[in-house]
Structure 1
Amino acid sequence: MTTETPQDAPPQALRHPRREELDLTEILCALADPNRLRVVAALVGQPPGSVRPYSWFGLPVGKAGRTHHFRVLREAGLITVEQYGNRTAVSLRRDDIESRFPGLLSAIRAGTAPRDTPGEPATAQAEGL
């Protein structure tokens, strides 16, 4: 007889709001923080379906702060968080956001200053050339 121990138990699935539960007020509150806006703006600039690890974003906060920012974005419905063993990665809920709030992602793209994409070399535009 095998007994399931806590470390053998499957991880708890993280709750992501359904498309119809997305609330503009919650989304705007989540985007009000510069670090969270930076995450979403970086994902908007990536190809649809891109999945990036937490570390890819290079947020200037500790582990607890990083976890908090991604939790707020997930609970607002902006990102999907996927766990792979001890690694966590995120993707933008592009289709859900565009369906509920058409033009929001375009506004985020237009309203954020060009900067280096995390994990990629600087561009001439980002350097002001």
Structure 2
Amino acid sequence: MTDFPSPDMSEVELVDVLRALSDPVRLQIVHRLGDGMPCPKTPEVWGDLNLSKSTMSHHFRTLREAGVTRTVVHGRTHTIQLRREELDEKFPGLIEAVLGETVRAES
């Protein structure tokens, strides 16, 4: 198992995350990954977006390079995962706001 290169969270900047999330397709990808669980990068999962493989690869790479997701390779299978816990720690409330979740106030 190997990971595609993605930035260390200490190097992730809010402006880069917001830039990556500004595209409607990438925002839709993040919504689908909102639970933080790994998701296969297969046409069966992403085919309904009606985008070419190269366009999907561009969007996945943009999210990964901005620090929003990680891609893990298991042989010939690639999975993509939202770096939810890390993003929540670095930018509290951001992912909840992006996903339209109710943000709970700390007691």
Which TM-score band (shorter chain)? 0.7 to 0.9
Percent of residue pairs identical:
35
Say which structure is richer in strand.
2
Q: For each residue in 1:38-97, what CA deviation from the matched residue of structure 2 results, as whole angstroms up to 9, or x when unmatched?
A: 0111111x2x4x110123233321110111100000000011101122221111101110
Q: 1:66 aligns with which of 52, 56, 63?
A: 56
Q: Which residue of 2 aligns with 1:53?
A: 40
What residue ranges of structure 1 are gaps of 5+ in the alignment?
1-10, 112-129
Distance 1:91 1:12, change over 3 A: closer
Moved >4 Å (runs of 4+): none
Relative to the length of structure 1, the TM-score reads 0.69
Looking at structure 1, the residues matched to 93 and 46 of structure 2 have their Cα atoms a distance apart, in angstroms, of 24
Q: Which has the larger radius of gyration?
A: 1
What count of residue pairs does the alignment treat as equivalent? 98
Say which structure is richer in helix.
2
Relative to the length of structure 2, the TM-score reads 0.82
Q: 2:88 aligns with which of 98, 106, 123?
A: 98
Q: How big is the alpha-carbon RMSD for the aligned residues of Structure 1 and Structure 2?
A: 1.9
Deviation at 1:12, TM superposition (A): 7.9
What residue ranges of structure 2 are gaps of 5+ in the alignment?
102-107
Q: Are residue 39 (structure 1) and residue 29 (structure 2) matched?
A: yes
